[in-house]
Amino acid sequence: MEVIKDTTAKSFKDVFVKRLDSDTKPISDGNPSYGACARELGLPNSVTLSKDEQAHATFKWFNTLIGNCKKFIDGTYHGREERKQLYLEEFVYRFNRRRFGMSLVERLLNTCVFASPHPLLRNGSCLRKFISTYTNTARRDQ
């Protein structure tokens, strides 16, 4: 997700060029900027208007996602708008990891320990001490 300044074809084109593959088949709600941008990039553009019978099925999960994003930003940041892109990135991060459950902490620790360059990897004894402390703490918590 990306914040755009307006809904002109130029703004959409900038995002499309960065985010979409050349074989993408966008489906839009009939906004003329989508169509102009798709034609300019040589992408097929399928239009589903809100009055069409299949509109609810076509946009159901998209509308749900947008609604959840708006609730997240409004509930967490109380409608603040000074860092919109960061708020969207946090929402996407959480959305992409919504099924990780309790393994999220373990994955975070693994990422921190094995990321490079890592100061603990310069001295092997420090790393061994950190790992033994972590495993002893984990055993006590069980």
pLDDT tens digits for 92-113? 888 887 877 777 778 888 888 7
Residue 55's contacts (CB-CB under 8 Å, 6 or more residues apart) are 48, 49
Q: What are phi and psi of 49, to 5 degrees?
A: -80, 155
Query: Which tens digits make up the pLDDT trace of 112-129?
Result: 878 776 555 555 556 666
Query: What is the model's pLDDT at position 63?
Result: 87
Q: Is the pLDDT of residue 136 over 70?
A: no
What are the tens digits of pLDDT across the range 6-49? 888 888 888 888 888 878 888 888 888 888 888 888 888 888 88
Can you tell me the distance from the alpha carbon of 28 to that of 31, in angstroms, rounded to the nearest whole number?
Answer: 7
- Domain ranges across the chain: 1-47, 54-98, 103-141
Q: What is the DSSP letter of 142?
A: -
Per-residue model confidence as pLDDT tens digits over 40-73? 888 888 888 878 888 888 888 888 988 998 888 8
Picking from 67, 90, 88, 70, the residue whose alpha carbon sits closest to that of residue 78 is 70
Q: What is the pLDDT of residue 137?
A: 58
Structure tokens at 130: 């950190």
Candidates 11, 14, 67, 36; CA nearest to 28 is 36
